[in-house]
Structure 1
């Protein structure tokens, strides 16, 4: 009898315990602000282990696209790509996408800080002021031909490339940049430009893993040295299309021939009048009272040569260097002689060229400056 009573008591205790364990929970409702705080507390305490473990750098592939604009700026897009795992699951991507959606500003701030470090290195290398703007972090998905998650970081990079007349040199801003495995760096440019070739060799360093019309691409693990990557672009010349013959025969360029002859005649007459009206050595013309030297230059022409450099404008310093070099000098010699940056030299040379005070032409890979009267 005692045994039966003990069994009954045990059964009663079990029933009570089970009833408490399976009692329905009282529903709890939280507003949007509370839910945000709860998610943050959960992440801080390691509750969202998957969210904390998945970062942009954990992508299966990273594709960096740099579109170089004609003014030297660049539109940069870094595409972090996530593929299904061996079980076909996209859990990693879904976790990252959820994190980006909930904390977009945090991701933007982190990416801006990291890219600003790269920009600062580019400024030290190129001696050009640069900055990034309009940075954004977005997500999207592809389902065809396979499921891919994309987290894209996009921004504008000012003065990424060096522009000089019809020539663009790009890549120095990324000197020392490192590509990890499954990472691609791609340069693109406007259709009006093509890769400059020297004796048939394209000016791309190092040799790209892929090249097509309008782009070059490097893939895989590599660290670019201080002078790489480098791409030199040149603007395409005006193409001359063949004229379609008509019933009257091919058109004759008589107008062009006539204009050329007229131009030559004008130049010849102007030179003749100049030589007749120029006073002889040691004489003056009675009006301007300017003495002419035996070599044909006037005393006034030498005033700029005798003026201290600090009293000359940038343009005058270039013109004086041209006179000292006999009317012709390489642009790179101007950079070294005046201790200027290439960007400053290009700006001064461009202003002189627009004012028709100098002429600029190319010999091989060099820009050469010349006074207009220099043959």
Structure 2
């Protein structure tokens, strides 16, 4: 089964960006203006799902264009403006991926996110020097979750079959002019097979470019899986360390058999300076950073000293150093233990689909609690009473 290029166009070209009251400009891969760009970002998840975000960027040269863009964005989000981009736009590709992979898939949480307006220098793909300092870029985002997108094979994620039809042809075969396709790995995964270089744990295709089956021959591995392998192989590792220790002892004996022992002699350069070095080896074998097997352990949550330190340092935490889950917990802590889901979307800048899936997983893991209030979700920490709403 061969999919014609028109299907690709319907995927990435469906939106009509119009900032004027009567005109409409089609974002297609043949006649796209330089002041308009598209980014298609696929964020892989640990469980094989993928969060897709299609971003439509438009240069806004003055206040009038910014106002027109905001009006247009409001009409799109409210459904007043039909731009032919919705769940069905992407659901038409499910049969090709399902037939090739044999996995059942679905498009979930499809929605338009709140528009953003940023300096042109903050948006990838634009040459900021070609614009004035007042120039900004308006961005509209359509996001959704594609379930079972990647094949989960033990600690590996595999992608190639998802992008191919039953005949072996890619159903997504072209990145158009002024477009980018970005594939983002999960935080705890690394690429082990890619078609080209990796940038910040992601693969980026800049258009215009054609894509073939080999471009999707992509495999990732979980870092937890690697540590699991090390734990399962600890007898071999300990055996190897024992051989090294014996060999080192023999060398030491040969070199010192004619010399007296000097307690004040300096340690050799290769000797670890920290006495906790064996503990770090044990923690690596245990797959834990908390010293579960005899190393320095983390004080319990009710330790008053630890609590004091945590409270004092909460406001100094750099969000960029936190995992997604830790960042949500940090924000909730900073806001008295409760926040609306929409506020989390606004503060993080993540898509609605990503936040929805992340919070659902954290709720399942008892890290947070979700309470439906009207058309909104209230998110709280487990020890916070959700009925006591400020």
Q: Structure 1-normalised TM-score?
A: 0.44
Q: Which has the higher contact order (CA 8 A, sep 6+)?
A: 2
Larger Rg: 1
